[in-house]
């Protein structure tokens, strides 16, 4: 009890909050990267009116391991880590700044304001993280291309430099609008459903505030968030994976949407549902676990320093 009290009175500076948040997101990515690759491959299956490569996520997983090896599941990890370093850190920084801005006399903002600043922070973070997102999409999708058409990026730095040289620096922000749109939907859905789900679980009397409750609340909220955001995500993936020839106009959001529905059917907008869902929930839970460990370690260290 005394220990908890001591930990509560030790504030964590904003700079450390950003560092811990970004690092926690990067660590969680190391666990869920194979699901990101699987999700992107499923979303690219059947693109351009071609025959579907995979009928299910399980078939895709087995096929990728058999044809490309198990380590292929971690292709694009450097891009995934950079995405977390840019997106998560920016989102957390802006959210914390706005949260403090709307806190008056020690009273935190209400739920509507929290949701609003969460969405604003998510959109800003998505814009900053789009270059890493473009590299991630391409690196995870490369193995499905014929050998002579693969980009063979060596790392996220190599990917970004080659994209700049071969396609122009504006390509770094290809698909930025749907990327920001997805962040808007994800943050809105997560904030609303996670809070309400956690409250409902605790209200049943079978759960108490803690990691088990957070896990189940995250997975239930993730189901709703996945259904809401996946159509925007698949459009983003298709746009960012396309390589435009010199002078060729980038495909527009609604053009891609129309082509997908026309060639593949409306249900194609939810391709890769399972890997996307199983990535979203665990990534949130793992990020939370790592973040709490960093916060606790900081408080323990500074409590000893103060003593």
Between 16 and 10, name the one with better pLDDT.
16
- Which position has the higher pLDDT, 270 or 296? 270
Residue 245 has pLDDT above 60, yes or no: no
CA proximity to 260, closest of 284, 236, 282: 236
Please tell me the predicted confidence (pLDDT) of residue 130: 95
The pTM (predicted TM-score) of the whole model is 0.78
- The token duo for 185 is 């939907």
- With H, G, I as helix, E, B as strand and everything else as coil, classify residue 39: helix
Q: What pLDDT shows up at residue 88?
A: 85
pLDDT digits (tens, 9 = 90+) for 282-292: 887 888 788 87
* 165 DSSP assignment: H
Contact 225, 280 (CB under 8 A): yes
Residue (of 14, 28, 21, 16) closest to 298 by Cα position? 16
The pLDDT value recorded for residue 7 is 41
Q: Pick one of 1.50.40.10, 3.40.50.2300, 2.30.30.360, 1.10.3720.10 as the CATH number of 13-298.
A: 1.50.40.10
What pLDDT, on a 0 to 100 scale, did the predictor assign at position 136? 94
Confidence band of 132 (pLDDT split at 50, 70, 90): very high
> With left for phi above 0 and alpha for psi between -120 and 50, is residue 18 left, alpha or beta?
alpha
Mean pLDDT of all residues belonging to the chain? 85
pLDDT at 187 over 60: yes
Task: Find residue 104's DSSP bridge partners.
Answer: 107
| Domain boundary assignment for the chain | 13-298
275: pLDDT strictly greater than 60: yes
What are the C-alpha distances in Å from 120 to residues 181, 188, 223, 233, 251?
A: 11, 10, 22, 18, 26
Write down the pLDDT at residue 188: 79
Q: What is the mean pLDDT of residues 236-243?
A: 82
Helix 14-44 to helix 111-141 angle, to the nearest 10 degrees? 50
Under the banding of pLDDT at 50, 70 and 90, the label for residue 2 is very low
């Amino acid at each position: 009890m005394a220990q908890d009290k001591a930990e509560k009175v030790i504030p964590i500076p904003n700079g450390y909050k950003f560092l811990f948040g970004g690092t926690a997101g990067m660590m969680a990515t190391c666990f869920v990267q194979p699901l990101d690759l699987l999700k992107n491959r499923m979303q690219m299956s059947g693109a351009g009116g071609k025959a579907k490569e995979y009928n299910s996520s399980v078939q895709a997983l087995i096929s990728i391991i058999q044809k490309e090896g198990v380590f292929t599941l971690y292709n694009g990890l450097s891009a995934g880590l950079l995405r977390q370093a840019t997106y998560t850190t920016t989102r957390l920084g802006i959210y914390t700044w706005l949260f403090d801005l709307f806190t008056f006399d020690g009273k935190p903002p209400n739920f509507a304001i929290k949701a609003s600043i969460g969405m604003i922070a998510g959109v800003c973070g998505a814009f900053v993280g789009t270059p890493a997102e473009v590299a991630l999409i391409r690196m995870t999708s490369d193995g499905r291309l014929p050998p002579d058409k693969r980009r063979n990026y060596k790392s996220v730095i190599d990917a970004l430099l080659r994209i700049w040289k071969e396609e122009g620096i504006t390509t770094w922000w290809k698909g930025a609008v749907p990327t920001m749109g997805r962040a808007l939907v994800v943050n809105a859905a997560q904030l609303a459903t996670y809070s309400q789900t956690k409250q409902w679980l605790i209200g049943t009397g079978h759960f108490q505030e803690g990691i088990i409750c957070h896990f189940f609340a995250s997975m239930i909220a993730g189901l709703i968030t996945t259904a809401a955001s996946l159509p925007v995500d698949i459009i983003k993936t298709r746009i960012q994976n396309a390589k435009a020839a010199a002078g060729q106009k980038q495909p527009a959001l609604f053009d891609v949407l129309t082509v997908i529905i026309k060639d593949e059917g409306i249900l194609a907008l939810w391709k890769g549902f399972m890997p996307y869902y199983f990535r979203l929930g665990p990534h949130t839970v793992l990020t939370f676990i790592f973040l709490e460990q960093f916060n606790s370690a900081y408080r323990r260290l500074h409590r000893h320093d103060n003593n």
